[in-house]
Amino acid sequence: MGVNNNLANFTYEAVNESGKKLKGMVKAQNKQLAITELRGRGITIRSIQEQRKTTMDLEIHIGRAVKLEDFVIFCRQFATLIRAGIQIDQAVSILEDQSTSKYLKAALGDISEQIRSGHPLSKGMGEHPKVFPDMFVNMMASGETGGNLDEVLERMAEHYEKEHKTVQKVKSAMTYPIVVLVIAIVVVIFLLLKIVPTFADMFLEQGSELPLITRFVMSSSDAIVHYWWMFLAGVIGIMVLYRSFASSEEGKYWIDTIKFKIPVFGLILKKAAVARMTRTMSSLFVSAVPVLQALDVTAKVVGNRVIAKVLRDAKDSLQQGKMLSEPIQKSGIFPKMVVQMLIIGEETGQVDNMLAKIADFFEADVDQSVDRLKAVIEPLMLLFISSIVGVIVAAIMSPMFKMYDNFLG
């Protein structure tokens, strides 16, 4: 099942028959239908209002507050409870009591009430999209239908664990050079603002001809000291323009395209995106989620609009009776190995298995690529900082040595 985006979201506060306070969200076409839905659950409504897209309410905070590690633990614990023969509503109540995330706890409290009112687990989860991703909701619906909810939950835990590991690897590869670059910029600005001007005054008093490197560093220092506000305005202006551009769909698509073309890092980002796409599709196919629905869900969670477009094209191709591998190959984005293994999977009727193997390969490849990159980039970044500082030091020391020679002469 998917989340109906045409319905409005209504946040509410209520109490159940035992007097327990509840907070949550319900989807409905209008407020009256939302009230009818909640009353059907046997709860007393204290307040209800439509959730505006611009408000920083409960559900928006949930999307940021529930850590992936907590979600994995939730999946594991839920699977254990179901496997132990505990009823779903009781299991949800137990998890609500044990949860350390107040936002996950609030969502589970609402879901527990919905289950007791006769609604499916997946429906309740679908009303909390900031807690439970669309993929997870679809998998839960499949597990409910197939009677293998515990297996699906275990599969989801493994899926998110692998995804988290890959994401952390990519972040670690990107973070180190960014941090080093920021440190380098701060050090250079400090030297140009505080140290260089002190020596510049002394050199100018001597009136002797200065080396080219010294004149360049002094000019840079003078520009920053007197026109720092222009540099700051320029940086702010670029940031504003970037955010404005990145907020449009065309801008987002262009940025996602450029990400894959960044030297060295682009290839790692592409491998990580392919791993995420194939892992998601494999999990959905194994859980018997319909192919077209699986492509829709994967396009939403893959995290890159270029690949999402390919998946939407693949959905159109399938509806026209074509094979899944055709639009994948036509896009020119994916490595040949992905296309070849997908074709083999189609010919043997084991697409889900092949997708899982592709995901395994690229997850391992990302790990190795990041480790190799870090081994190379750490000394290079240190050399980079040393070179910049060395240039500034040389610019200061060169005239001083000349002054010393003149003094001795």
pLDDT values of the chain reduced to their tens digit, one per residue, 409 residues: 444 445 677 878 888 777 777 777 777 778 788 888 787 777 888 888 887 543 333 333 334 457 888 888 899 999 999 999 999 999 999 998 888 887 888 889 888 888 888 889 998 898 888 888 888 988 999 888 888 899 999 988 888 888 888 888 888 888 888 888 888 888 888 888 888 888 887 777 776 677 888 888 888 888 888 888 898 899 999 999 999 998 888 999 999 999 999 888 899 999 999 999 999 999 999 888 889 999 999 998 888 999 999 999 999 999 998 899 999 999 889 999 999 999 999 999 899 999 999 999 999 999 999 888 888 888 888 888 888 888 888 888 887 777 666 666 5
For residue 342, what are its two tokens?
A: 């997908």
Residue where the block lists tokens 């477009």: 309
Residue where the block lists tokens 């709860």: 43
Indicate the Cα dihedral angle 3, 287, 342, 363, nearest 10°: 90
For residue 7, what are its two tokens?
A: 């319905």
At 36, give phi and psi (nearest 5°): -60, -40
Residue where the block lists tokens 């990580």: 272
Q: What is the DSSP string of 210-267?
A: PPHHHHHHHHHHHHHHHHHHHHHHHHHHHHHHHHHHHTSHHHHHHHHHHHTTSTTHHH
For residue 254, what are its two tokens?
A: 């262009």
Interatomic CA distance for residues 280 and 258, integer angstroms:
23
**Residue 292 in contact with residue 318, Cβ under 8 Å?**
yes
Q: How far is CA 363 from each of CA 73, 165, 227, rounded to the nearest angstrom?
A: 21, 9, 48
**Residue 314 in contact with residue 327, Cβ under 8 Å?**
yes
Interatomic CA distance for residues 74 and 125, integer angstroms:
13
Closest among 270, 266, 268, 326 to 303, alpha carbons compared: 270
**Residue 344 in contact with residue 353, Cβ under 8 Å?**
no
Q: How far is CA 59 from each of CA 11, 37, 103, rounded to the nearest angstrom?
A: 9, 19, 8
Domains and CATH numbers, the chain: 8-132 (no CATH), 162-409 (1.20.81.30)
Interatomic CA distance for residues 322 and 319, integer angstroms:
7
**Residue 260 in contact with residue 269, Cβ under 8 Å?**
yes
pLDDT at position 5: 47
Kindly report the pTM of this predicted structure: 0.72
Q: How far is CA 83 from each of CA 24, 87, 88, 344, rounded to the nearest angstrom?
A: 28, 10, 11, 35
- Return the sign of the alpha-carbon dihedral for residues 70, 72, 73, 79: positive
pLDDT at position 6: 57
For residue 165, what are its two tokens?
A: 């590991």
323 membership: H or E segment, kind and range: none
